[in-house]
Amino acid sequence: MATVENNIPPGEDPAPYHEPAHDPRRRDFINIAAVSFAGVGAVAIVLPLINQMNPSADVLAQSTTEIDISKIAPGQAIKSSFRKQPLFVRNLTPKEIGEANAVDVGSLRDPQTLAERTKAGKENWLITLGVCTHLGCVPLGAGEGENKGPFGGYFCPCHGSAYDTAGRIRQGPAPQNLHVPEYNFTSDTVVTVG
């Protein structure tokens, strides 16, 4: 170090870097403001980078599905598709409606009556997502000849969740009833879901 200092020409500062000598507060302010602005800018750029992973406009737009229910006889069900998810539309028989209404609602894991899960005057039309509320498998029971499980509704083969004729969870690991999407009857034979 000493030899290095000997090389310094006269009049030159041996150590060219310093702490600020005067008015340090104003200068600190600008330094801090510059760094903070860089931070704000970084956040402003990160937001669109995160937002781009949300569903795009074309995905959001395809969120209504029209279903013709005229050909579903009592006791039958169809699988349709809503937002790329399976949708069960089931025409309940009076016996199945009776079974659903006979259950003590207070004893259920996710207490709901059949009336709460269907439209007034159309209690025979049970429209639910075909997505098990446990981990998302498609339960059996909508197709012809499929295992409807011990409660006559739907049965999820993945982990054994059993749903009753109102699509309510009765046995197995699923925490909730099968979800009922928003829908309405545009006519006696057409349902618009979403």
Partner 1 sequence: MSFPWAKHYEPKQPLMRWLDEKLPLPRLVYNAIGAGYPVPRNLNYFWNFGVLAGAALVIQIVTGVVLAMHYAANGTVAFGSVESIMRDVNAGWFLRYAHANGASMFLAVVYIHIGRGLYYGSYKAPREMVWLLGVVIFLLMMATAFMGYVLPWGQMSFWGAQVITGFFSAIPLVGDTIRIWLLGGFAPDNAALNRFFSLHYLLPFVIAGVIILHIWALHIPGSNNPTGVDVKGEQDTVPFHPYYTAKDGVGVAVFFLIFATFVFFSPNLLGHPDNYIEANPLSTPAHIVPEWYFLPFYAILKSFTADFILPAKLWGVLAMFGSILLLFFLPWLDSSPVRSANYRPTYRWFLIVLVFDVLVLGYVGGAEASARNVMMGQIAAAYYFAHFLIILPLVSAAERPRPLPNSITEAVLSKHGGTAPTKTALAG
Partner 2 sequence: MVRLISLVIGAGFVFVLALALFFTAKDAIQNPAPHTAEHEFHLHPEDINLSSAGWFGKFDRQQVQRGFQVYKEVCAACHSLKYVAFRDLQKIGYSEAEVKAIATQWVIEQPSVNPETGEPATRKNMPSDHFPSPFANEVAARAANANALPPDLSLMTKAREDGSNYVHALITGYRDQPAELLKKFPDAKTPEGLHYNPYFANLNIAMPPPLTSDGQVTYSDGTKATRDQMARDVAAFLTWTAEPNLEARHAAGLAAVIFLMVFIYLTWGAYQNVWREVKH
Give the integer Cα–Cα distance in Å for 74 and 67: 16
Q: Report the nearest approach of partner 1 to the CB of residue 87 (Å).
A: 24
Cβ nearer to partner 1, comparing 49 with 73 = 49
27 binds, among partner 2, partner 1, none (CB under 5 to 8 A by kind): partner 2
Binding residue (CB under 8 A) for partner 2 from 1, 42, 44, 47: 44
Active site residue 159: yes
Over the window 25 to 64, marking each residue x when it contacts partner 1 by CB under 8 A and - when it does not, the resulting string is: ---------x---x--x------xx-xxxx-xxxx-----
Sort 119 into a burial class: Cβ within 10 Å, 0-12 / 13-18 / 19+.
middle
Give the integer Cα–Cα distance in Å for 66 and 183: 9
Please answer whether residues 134 and 122 qualify as being in contact, where contact means their C-beta atoms are separated by less than 8 angstroms: no
Q: Report the nearest approach of partner 1 to the CB of residue 18 (Å).
A: 7
Asked whether position 56 contacts partner 2 by CB under 8 A, the answer is: no
Binding residue (CB under 8 A) for partner 2 from 58, 104, 144, 188: 58
Q: How many residues bind partner 1 (CB under 8 A)?
A: 29
Task: Annotate 63-117 with DSSP letters as a single string.
Answer: --EEEE-TT--TT-EEEEEETTEEEEEEE--HHHHHHHHHS-GGGSSS---TGGG
Cβ nearer to partner 2, comparing 62 with 187 = 62
Binding residues for partner 1, rule: CB under 8 A, are 1, 4-5, 7-18, 21, 34, 38, 41, 48-49, 51-54, 56-59
